[in-house]
Amino acid sequence: MKLTSEMQNEITNALSRAAASRAAGDIDAAWNALQRAHVISQPALLPHLVVHRAMLSLAVAQRDGKEVSGQLLRLALAPVGHMLGRTPWGNPGRSNVSKFARAPLPDDVARLYAQAGVEVK
């Protein structure tokens, strides 16, 4: 699936906020921005992988072994999930949440999905 330009812009903005927060030492804000980017990127494999790569980078920088392992596993499983249509919609993408767990979509993200024709099953 191809993301709408609005979705791409939201992901780009969230990744930029994550990078700026990381540079400023605000790791919680960086993770929050990455989680938002993750949920928005879920309908399309390549942006989804880009977000997990950014999450892996932050986990490595923090020397968080559990998160590094979790992100490596998610990078490996995301293509399989996309091929099988088994996306855990709304999942924030962190290792402290099951990689198979769904979560409610924020209202604005649900609107973006609807506009893009993404069916959350």
Count of domains for the chain: 1
Residue 51 lies in a domain: yes
Angle (deg, nearest 10), helices 5-23 and 107-116: 140
In the predicted model, what is the mean pLDDT of the chain?
96
- Residue 2: pLDDT band (50, 70, 90) is confident
Residue 121 lies in a domain: no
Residue 75 lies in a domain: yes
pTM, to two decimals: 0.95
- Residue 56: pLDDT band (50, 70, 90) is very high
Q: Which domain holds residue 53?
A: 5-86+95-116
**Side-chain half-sphere exposure of 41, counting CA atoms within 13 A:** 26
46: left (phi over 0), alpha (psi -120 to 50) or beta: alpha
Name every residue whose Cβ is closer than 8 Å to that of residue 78 and which is 6 or more positions away in sequence. Answer: 45, 48, 49, 52
Give 61-101 pLDDT, tens digit per residue: 999 999 999 999 999 999 999 999 999 999 999 999 999 99
